[in-house]
Structure 1
Amino acid sequence: MGTIMQGSRTLLHKWFQALFLIANPSASINAVQLSTIIEVTYKTAWLILHKLRHAIQQGDAEQLLTRLVEVISAAYNPCNFHIKGFKTMRNEQPFVGGATLNFGEVAYIKLKHVFIPKHHPNKELSYWDYSNFIQNHVSHSVRVPFVHYGYRKYNACDTINIICDSVPVRINERYYGVSDKHLQSYLDEVSYRINHSFKANRAVSKLFRLFIGTPAVTYKQLISRKPMCLHEQIA
């Protein structure tokens, strides 16, 4: 069983450059920019970034929320801020945001997509969606997570609301909008950057450990993934 680099013809130092750029909270990179920086094709740059996001996703699955936990709902809309006179796309995708709190501040946050088909009339999350987030992403040692349903989310910690409300801008400004098929990968990247925003070197070193410890994943596996409902995600 190899690492996520298995089968890659890209030089190792180029992988390390990409790893540093995606992990460093102060950096900003997308596949077009990366392809120029490390001198590879767009397809290669896209694949490298998605393999690194896959490693981030595997690491996040092992980290459950503990102690005092609050859970809210939010939504992502893939509008492109870089197009003059852009119009908001009507394909809003909900996600659940949950966080471990330490003295009222976010110590660790998770952002998990809840897939709802484009033409579904109701974009509101159900009790089932929140329950499955808790089952998959909250430690059993947490007896009573605080779940703030719907618009009651503004009763939650201000920082959680600020983070979740900022997600569309964080993704769209860098990637110009992403599809619901790959949204979870980008949500995991955003939460990884936030969780390590105060210690950039720690973020890079942790991703390096995930990089060498995550089993191989192929391009075909990455592009064939279907967006999953929250209850289909496995922690």
Structure 2
Amino acid sequence: MLSTGLSQGSVPKLERPGPLRERVYEALLELIITRALSPGQHLVETELAGHLGVSRQPVREALQRLNTEGWVDLRPAQGAFVHEPTEEEADQLLVVRALLETEAARLAAANAGAKGLERLDELCATGEAAVEADDVDAVVAANAALHAYVMELAGNAVLTELSRQVDRRVRWYYTPVARQRGKQSWIEHRELIKAIADRDAARASEVMRAHTEQTRNSYHHRADKD
């Protein structure tokens, strides 16, 4: 176990050729989002480079980019640390997420066809199975996939692009509460799918609004207990 908290061999070596700088950035960002690298954790360039099988230079460039985007804090004379989100940051992001997804649910109820509804059922079943298996990473991935597909069914390209801008941070905030939300989250997803299938735009909006608010409340409740 290295001081980064990652076990030897837990991070696959990056394959070459390819845009190495971008791939190192994506690898580190995914480790942060999934909380394999936890908020406040010290990031040592040499150790990260060793995990990823690259030199320090692309790691340094990736950390600088992650700092610019707010994922990493570069502290003079101390080094790089995973950013620790404040309650205000989390709240602002989750409020915006609720607004975007409530509108997406409304539009999806108007636009979804039989194939779209079938796909929603499949995604929900995947999430339910992940909950039963107590596989948090799979739950988070399934949750993100279902919400992204509702966005796709909405049929609004601008709304989808805005959602993509916040999706990774939503995953970051959702990961620590995924187990707490548990089966209830997927019961709410089933209610949403039914409203969309019934073409009840008002109900779909209402269910999505309540669903995102529950996640927001769970995040803040967890923070209060820490």
TM-score range, shorter chain: under 0.3
Structure exhibiting the larger radius of gyration computed from Cα positions: 2
More helix by percentage: 2
More strand by percentage: 1
Higher relative contact order (CA 8 A, sep 6+): 1
TM normalised by structure 2 equals 0.25
TM normalised by structure 1 equals 0.24
